Amino acid sequence: MLEEKELGRELARAQADKGKILLRTGMRVVLAGVIILAGIRGNPPGRGPVSFLAGVLAAVIILVAAAWVFWPLIHYRDFAAFYENGAVLGQRKWRLEELGEISFQDVKSNHSLFTRTYLCTSVRKFDVTYIKDCKKNFNRAYGNII
């Protein structure tokens, strides 16, 4: 495993964009609330006992919906740090030679209103969507090579 000393002096650091994370989580909470209210108003719960299978299905749907709603919160501790001889991306230390050519890519999906940002290397694509000013800090660290 690489040590901090091997990477050299820290040139720039980009932290998680907490505002973006909370905004997207809040939007998902509102959307889920609207869907739940529409479902309850359109199909009010009956007074009779619910079958076991229907209860299990409802519990599974609730768990999946909760995972989707709160998914952006896992990015709350994301960061990227750029050093003289390497970088810390995805909680792992990388040498610049390992990463190879580095570029940034913004991807717009048909399934989302928002774009995703990737830091593309020869090793893999790092999702830096929730890291604030990652590209700006990368350019600041490595002298506008992109």
* Residue 47: band (very low, low, confident or very high) from pLDDT cuts 50, 70, 90: low
Residues 81-101, mean pLDDT to the nearest whole number: 92
Does this model's pTM top 0.85? My answer is no
| Continuous segment of H or E residues that includes residue 22 | helix 18-42
Instruction: Give the list of residues 6+ apart from residue 1 with CB closer than 8 angstroms, or none.
Output: 93
Task: Say yes or no: 52 and 92 in one domain.
Answer: no
Instruction: For the beta carbon of residue 46, count every other beta carbon within 10 angstroms.
Output: 7
> What pLDDT is attached to residue 11?
93
Task: Say yes or no: 86 and 98 in one domain.
Answer: yes
How far apart are the C-alpha atoms of 45 and 12, rounded to whole Å? 55
pLDDT at 127 over 60: yes
Task: Say yes or no: 96 and 120 in one domain.
Answer: yes
Fill in the DSSP letter of residue 8. Answer: -
The residue segments making up the domain with residue 53 are: 18-72
How far apart are the C-alpha atoms of 99 and 131, rounded to whole Å? 19
How far apart are the C-alpha atoms of 70 and 102, rounded to whole Å? 31
Task: Say yes or no: 95 and 106 in one domain.
Answer: yes
Residues 121-146, mean pLDDT to the nearest whole number: 89
> What pLDDT is attached to residue 64?
93
State the amino acid at position 19 in one-letter form: G
> What pLDDT is attached to residue 38?
83
Q: How far is CA 53 from the centre of its chain?
A: 34
Task: Say yes or no: 10 and 81 in one domain.
Answer: yes
Tell me the pLDDT tens digit for each residue of 61-75.
Answer: 889 999 999 999 999
> What pLDDT is attached to residue 112?
80
Q: How far is CA 131 from the centre of its chain?
A: 8
